[in-house]
Amino acid sequence: MYIVIVGAGDIGTPLIEIATRGGNEVVVIERDEERANIAASEFDALVLNANATNNETLSEAGIEDADALISTTDQDATNIMVCLLAQEFDVPNIVSVVHSPEHMDLFNRIGVNVMQNPQRLIAEYLYRAVKRPSIVDYMRIGEQAEVFEIDVEEGAPIAGKTLQQANDDGLLSKDVLIVAIERDEADQPITPRGGTRIQAGDLVTVYSAVGATPEVTDIFGHREDH
């Protein structure tokens, strides 16, 4: 993919790393000279030290050929302007960070895919790491539902049971689904079926409509505060 990334700050820098490591052709636009120089020295990407809210800068970045533009600056006004200009160039996929919830509706109205308030997402992740240390990784879906990874402990209520048995015993409610299992001796993730037996040491990916509540994590042997 040909990706134009606007901003080489706290959000843009790891994004540049991920995008270049993935073998994409990446162009970075950063108006701060020091940040631009650092990005140019660290990543296999074309870095322009310029203002992305300028049509000439976007043209120099090859925006006409871009498959995607991602705006990551810390100013919503800048991100909005960049996205509007990218639309004029008919960029197929336009994504932006949004810092203020008040601006979400504006981004939605202009048809931009958004990542809302990444600082808050990081804060929630850190809080989750303390509140629910058994959760390896998680993603929120909507207001309450979550997909998360969790290890199955020795002696867990579900350990040694098939998924059908766990359902019959009332361990897995209709709101909880095990969608994947990673096991040391397996070359790839196991797709769970009714007869699949959960083993201690498994890393399971769980969908829970009610979130990763203590009642749910208890099933996998993690006794946490209710």
Q: Would you list the domain boundaries of the chain?
A: 2-116, 132-220
Nearest in space to 81 (alpha carbons), one of 119, 112, 38 = 112
Nearest in space to 32 (alpha carbons), one of 2, 3, 75 = 75
Token representation of residue 13: 């820098």
Q: What is the pLDDT of residues 30-88, one digit of tens each?
A: 999 999 999 999 999 999 999 999 999 999 999 999 999 999 999 999 999 999 999 99
Does residue 198 register a pLDDT over 80? Answer: yes
Q: What is the pLDDT of residues 161-178, one digit of tens each?
A: 999 999 999 999 889 999
Architecture of domain 2-116: 3-Layer(aba) Sandwich (3.40)
pTM for the full model? 0.65
Q: What is the pLDDT of residue 160?
A: 95
Q: What is the pLDDT of residue 224?
A: 56
Give yes or no on whether 2-116 and 132-220 have one common fold. no
Q: What is the pLDDT of residue 130?
A: 67
Phi/psi at 140 (nearest 5 deg)? -80, 140
CA 103 to chain centre: 21
Q: What is the pLDDT of residue 49?
A: 98
Question: 102 versus 209: which is more confidently predicted?
Answer: 209
Does residue 221 register a pLDDT over 80? Answer: yes
Does residue 182 register a pLDDT over 90? Answer: yes
| SS3 state of residue 31 | coil
What dihedral do alpha carbons 128, 134, 140, 141 form, nearest 10°?
Answer: -150
Nearest in space to 6 (alpha carbons), one of 71, 66, 64 = 71
Q: What is the pLDDT of residues 113-149, one digit of tens each?
A: 887 666 666 777 677 666 666 777 777 777 788 899 9
The domain covering 132-220 belongs, at the CATH homologous superfamily level, to Regulator of K+ conductance, C-terminal domain (3.30.70.1450)
Token representation of residue 32: 């701060």
Q: How far is the CA of 146 from the CAs of 140, 152, 209, in angstroms?
A: 4, 18, 6
Q: What is the pLDDT of residue 226?
A: 46
